[in-house]
Structure 1
Amino acid sequence: MRIARLFPILLLLSAPVFAQQKADTSQTSVKEDFRDDWANLRHYEMENKTLGKPAPGEKRVVFLGSSVFEFWKTRLPEYFAAHKNYIDRGISGQIAPQLLLRFQQDVIALKPKAVIILAGSNDIAGTTGHVTNERILNDIKSMVELCQVHKITPILCAYVPINEYPWRKGLEPAEKIISLNKAITAYAAQNKLILLDYYTPLVDDKKGTRPDLTLDGVHPNAAGYRIMAKVTDEAIAKALKQK
């Protein structure tokens, strides 16, 4: 009888414990929401912290862009291995405003002497909507102005030639890339900025990248990156000479 009378009391006392355990379980199963990190700042956040400040005499150069830069590290890794002062900060799929949002963390905070800004292809591809050359160029201008404030030499890029996006067939981007490159070239000339031309050494007779230099018509292969490396080193040498 005593046990029977105690059972309801024990059940009531244990209820909050069971409820707490259930609440704790539900909390740990919730997936973290990163929608507020639209620019994907977390991508290089920890790597930036471990990188630290440039060593005395080091002339650091940041490569800021999307997949063309991000894939470079894996398709021609010896290039960055041979240039310890080159810091790749490409994130696949990003558009120009995302690069601008990342500029403080992934460029300025790393204290480089120069930054290569490769922007525009994903904007043209319509990854997140319809974007004009003017909007792309405005984001590039904002990045250049940040460079001027922080005494970083900006290197602007004429984008690689593309005549078809495998994931957006029929878009006909060749002339759009050419138009954007003309706008960037004119802005660079007007403001006496260094222009890194990735278009000319890669282009074929169809206004795309030569088949022997690309994997999919958009991203270079190792041979393509070797050609890009040569013109990149020339542009960096010019930029660092100004320092």
Structure 2
Amino acid sequence: MQIRNRQNWLVVATLLGLVTAGGCGISPAIKRAGRTDAQKEQLIKPGMFGDNAPADRLRGRFDFWNEEVVRQDVAVGTVFMGDSITELWELAAYFAPSDGVILNRGIGGDITPHMAKRFDADVIQLKPRNVVILAGTNDVARALSANKPEQETISGVMANMEAMVDAARKAGINVFVCSILPTNPDTGNHAGKAPILPKINEKLKAMCAAKRCIYVNCACPMKDSAGELRKDLARDGLHPHYAGYEIMARVLNDAARANGLRL
């Protein structure tokens, strides 16, 4: 759904509880971030990437809501950044906002180079306390299709992940980096991913230790004895359904609590 003007936003926002029923200001349930008037006018929009980039599909929607977050001075607790696994995650079913709203900035089919380019717009300018990054599986799929060398793929993913982590850390945001989930070749065309995913995850874990961010090992409890995604957690061998997301939410919440944080 495209929300094209401010009047329509007020209707939707009132229904969602973002503004009072009388339309006079923001709901007391929504906390303020404390932006100055000047900061409310400093909007970041990454533009379109072209070449049928999956990231372009939700650009208009994200730009609209990002602008409202900034100009309405909404406090953001956590932003989830990622691809289809993040986009399909019904976050409200698993997480209760604590010190700010929870926002989903996942886009199906997205790759880490485009996530890094939209990170300032979809994360940094929203001033969240936390960001959860789950990315890389589409980079691997594309690389396999193009017969790219394994090391080139790993280096590319890591460079983009490091760029996002560094930007978030510089902005004072708590960073959670999730392992790339395993896949199951029996229920999808994912056989080629099996050797490379654990290697990227080891790099992600080492990066988190070096950069003092939080590595969230969602992969471990979701894989079977063969190291593949458990068949009871996804129908297509890739995208979790509710049972899979329940495990991911539990692991993520446990990681937050272990570090004295809340999502």
Q: Which of 146, 151, 154 lines up with 2:172 in the alignment?
A: 151
Q: Which of 226, 232, 235 lines up with 1:206 in the alignment?
A: 226
* Displacement of 1:35: 2.5
3-state SS in 1 of match to 2:201: helix
* Displacement of 1:221: 0.7
CA distance in 1 between counterparts of 2:203 and 2:193 reads 15
* Displacement of 1:218: 0.2
Amino acid at match of 1:106: D
TM-score w.r.t. the length of structure 2 is 0.69
1:47 aligned partner: 65
Whether the 8 Å CA contact 1:155–1:196 is kept in 2: the answer is yes
* Displacement of 1:36: 7.7
Q: Which of 177, 182, 192 lines up with 2:212 in the alignment?
A: 192
Whether the 8 Å CA contact 1:53–1:110 is kept in 2: the answer is no
1:97 aligned partner: 113
CA offsets 1:159-181 (integer angstroms, 9 cap, x no match)? 111143967x3652112111110
Whether the 8 Å CA contact 1:155–1:239 is kept in 2: the answer is no
CA distance in 2 between counterparts of 1:211 and 1:171 reads 14
Q: Which of 94, 112, 116 lines up with 1:79 in the alignment?
A: 94
Gaps of 5+ in 2: 1-47
CA offsets 1:155-207 (integer angstroms, 9 cap, x no match)? 1111111143967x365211211111011111112233210111011001232
CA distance in 1 between counterparts of 2:220 and 2:184 reads 14
Amino acid at match of 1:182: E
Q: For residues 170 and 162 of structure 1, do their structure 2 counterparts lie closer, same or farther at Cα, with a shift above 3 Å needed?
A: closer
Higher-Rg structure is 1
* Displacement of 1:54: 3.3
Aligned positions of 1:1-243 closer than 5 A: 35=50, 38=53, 39-40=55-56, 41-51=59-69, 52-55=72-75, 60-73=77-90, 77-80=92-95, 82-83=96-97, 85-126=101-142, 129=146, 130=148, 132-164=153-185, 169=189, 171-238=191-258, 241=261
3-state SS in 2 of match to 1:35: coil
Quote the RMSD (CA, aligned, Å). 2.6
TM-score w.r.t. the length of structure 1 is 0.74
3-state SS in 2 of match to 1:233: helix
Once the two structures are overlaid, the 10-residue window that deviates more, 156-165 or 108-117, is: 156-165
Once the two structures are overlaid, the 10-residue window that deviates more, 207-216 or 44-53, is: 44-53
Once the two structures are overlaid, the 10-residue window that deviates more, 37-46 or 94-103, is: 37-46
* Displacement of 1:90: 0.4
CA offsets 1:107-141 (integer angstroms, 9 cap, x no match)? 01111011111111000011784451111000011
Q: For residues 171 and 212 of structure 1, do their structure 2 counterparts lie closer, same or farther at Cα, with a shift above 3 Å needed?
A: closer
How many residue pairs are counted as aligned between the two chains?
A: 203
Whether the 8 Å CA contact 2:181–2:219 is kept in 1: the answer is yes
Q: For residues 43 and 174 of structure 1, do their structure 2 counterparts lie closer, same or farther at Cα, with a shift above 3 Å needed?
A: farther
1:28 aligned partner: none
CA offsets 1:1-58 (integer angstroms, 9 cap, x no match)? xxxxxxxxxxxxxxxxxxxxxxxxxxxxxxxx97289442324111222334334xxx
3-state SS in 2 of match to 1:87: strand
Gaps of 5+ in 1: 1-32
Whether the 8 Å CA contact 2:124–2:171 is kept in 1: the answer is yes
Whether the 8 Å CA contact 1:125–1:165 is kept in 2: the answer is no
Amino acid at match of 2:137: S
3-state SS in 2 of match to 1:60: strand
